[in-house]
Structure 1
Amino acid sequence: MKILVVEDDLSMQKSICMGLRKFSYAVDAASDGEEALRLVEIHEYDALVLDWNLPRIDGIDVLREIRKNNQDIKILILSARSDVEDKIFGLDTGANDYMAKPFHFKELEARLRALLRRRFTQTDTRMSHGELLIDTALKTAYVKGDLMELTKKEYGILEYLMLNKDRVVSAEEIIEHLWDSSFDGFSNSLKVHINSLKKKLAALLGEQEVIKNRRGLGYYIAEVPLDAY
């Protein structure tokens, strides 16, 4: 999942970004409202962590501007304003959640996970496909009950395909949601990670093919062949 952190306190911004990357999120950062709107225009984010008090354009105006054209992106306001009236105003303006500073990072990550599950109409933290099971809270995958040794990117790809089960997902979409904006579009990194992931799954499942691909269209996980594509 790809998240934009909008925070003008650079120390806090760096801390949040580092923490989210440890949980396998792709993360971009902005230090003011103007930069945030520019990045949202260019990239497709799954969620925003948005400070209220920002230079140039404040967080509430950023929220209003985004909601004019985008109702899908999940937005969590993270603000030093802790009054109930401020929280109500932020939620009524279009935020999906609101956290007051100071905060505990584990709670922030849990709230983001809950918001992202809503986006993909998923209520449980666990998803399964045959003998494969992934836990989105622990960021782990299991085959036949045994833990898989996956890199962060391998897990991220597997999770995104499971969240989009029964749908062909293009390479461009996977890259947009799992790599930050510094990714080199000419890199073959995605293919390398997918091939490695397929080999690890094959080593545990034998001939059972979990991740399939449609030439020129993308990759998918499905219970039955997607003959419609």
Structure 2
Amino acid sequence: MDDHKDTGLAVIVVEDEDAIREEVCDYLSRHGFSVRGVADGGGLERMLQDAPADVIVLDLGLPHEDGIEIAKRLRRQRISIGIVVTTARSRVEDRILGYETGADVYLVKPVNYAELAAVIAALKRHRDQRPAADQGPAEMAWQLDLATWRLMTPTGAAMRLTRAEMKVMDLLSRTPGAPVMRHLIGRHMGKSDQLRDHRYVDQLVSRLRRKVITELGWEAPIGSAQGEGYFVPGSFHRLGEPTGPL
């Protein structure tokens, strides 16, 4: 067995293929997680009644009830639980739907187990760092430093953005709280209005969301606007001035 420190995190893996479920559970157990496995949504509900969990690793292609519906119910009933979707559905439209229905992270199979373990740990760190209710919502303190190309969490952790990521965040943060349509983001990125360039925008946002969770342990402050565009919270802050063209 691997010599990994106990993380104290309770994880439930929902996967109907026995071999995959056992493999994921074994890997996560050897890396310090307390793991249980189940084959469908009904089993998940019974398992949660027996003992709570910090993170659910949820396959979408399940018998009896689709994983999308399970994610919706989990998010309604247990708003603070982490949801990591794993699926063979790789279309941009599927990933957008997954995020809009409650997933924190969307991983396309075959899943890299090391990345899965890192994502689970990051989700828990994010929830542990959330401020108390009387301190105001966490999203109020997100900041974008225009001079250094850094995105900063409410606790001051910072992440360097690439040029493409910075261009997206720069545009969204100019009108905080208001959605920016996908074709306008594409134009800002120097793309056309064609469908393939809309998909480029979706893929870029999806990668950025995952990068924020992996590097900072926070859910990215980027919301989806009815599948048509993206936005940042209304009081998202911009700092400084760009030192040159993006």
Q: Which amino acid aligns with 1:97?
A: V
Q: Which amino acid aligns with 2:83?
A: I
* 8 Å Cα contact 1:37/1:66 also seen in 2: no
The gaps in structure 2 that reach 5 residues or longer are 1-8, 131-152, 156-246
CA distance in 2, matches of 1:59, 1:67: 12
Q: Decide which of 90, 98, 106 is 2:98's aligned counterpart.
A: 90
Root-mean-square deviation over aligned CA pairs: 1.6
CA distance in 2, matches of 1:32, 1:69: 17
Residues 6-40 of structure 1, C-alpha deviation per residue, up to 9 Å, x if partnerless?
00011110010000001111111110111112212
Q: Decide which of 26, 33, 56 is 1:48's aligned counterpart.
A: 56
CA distance in 2, matches of 1:38, 1:66: 13
Q: Residue in 2 aligned with 1:30?
A: 38
Q: Residue in 2 aligned with 1:193?
A: none
| 1:5 aligns to 2:13 (yes or no) | yes
| Seq. identity, % | 35
Q: Which amino acid aligns with 1:20?
A: L
TM-score normalized by structure 1? 0.52
CA distance in 1, matches of 2:35, 2:56: 10
CA distance in 1, matches of 2:14, 2:79: 18
Residues 110-154 of structure 1, C-alpha deviation per residue, up to 9 Å, x if partnerless?
111111111111899xxxxxxxxxxxxxxxxxxxxxxxxxxxxxx
Q: Which amino acid aligns with 1:95?
A: A
Q: Residue in 2 aligned with 1:16?
A: 24
| 1:59 aligns to 2:52 (yes or no) | no
CA distance in 1, matches of 2:98, 2:48: 19
Which 4+ stretches in 1 moved above 2 angstroms? none
Q: Residue in 1 aligned with 2:121?
A: 113
Cα shift at 1:42: 2.9
TM-score normalized by structure 2? 0.48
